[in-house]
Amino acid sequence: MQNDEEDQIFWQLSDEYIDLANEKAALYHIDLVNDAMMFSAARYNAFVCTQLLAEGDADKDQLVDEFVEHYRRMLRENIEEMLAAPPGSVSKH
């Protein structure tokens, strides 16, 4: 469970990643930027998983399932939020 300070840091970090993606999307095709962001997230998530696996308290397939389900939930929530909002009114978070 995150506290208020961690929540604030979470949103700040998220906004910084979104800002960077938007900057890159002004220079490159959105599909290329999206693929790079997804690869980067997968690469970093793999690093986190290897740390958890090294601690011995995790199963690789279970970790993958948990990460995929977490992503699926966040993606669906964000799509629904964006579809429900008037065009141009969606904030980063």
Give the pLDDT of residue 6.
95
Give the pLDDT of residue 86.
83
**Rounded Cα distance, 54 and 86, in Å:** 46
Token representation of residue 49 = 């998983």
The number of C-alpha atoms within 13 Å of 59 and in the hemisphere containing its C-beta is: 4
CA 26 centroid distance within chain: 20
Give the pLDDT of residue 90.
67
Give the pLDDT of residue 81.
94
The whole-number mean pLDDT for each consecutive block of 10 residues of the chain, a chain of 93 residues, reads 87 96 97 98 97 92 97 97 84 61
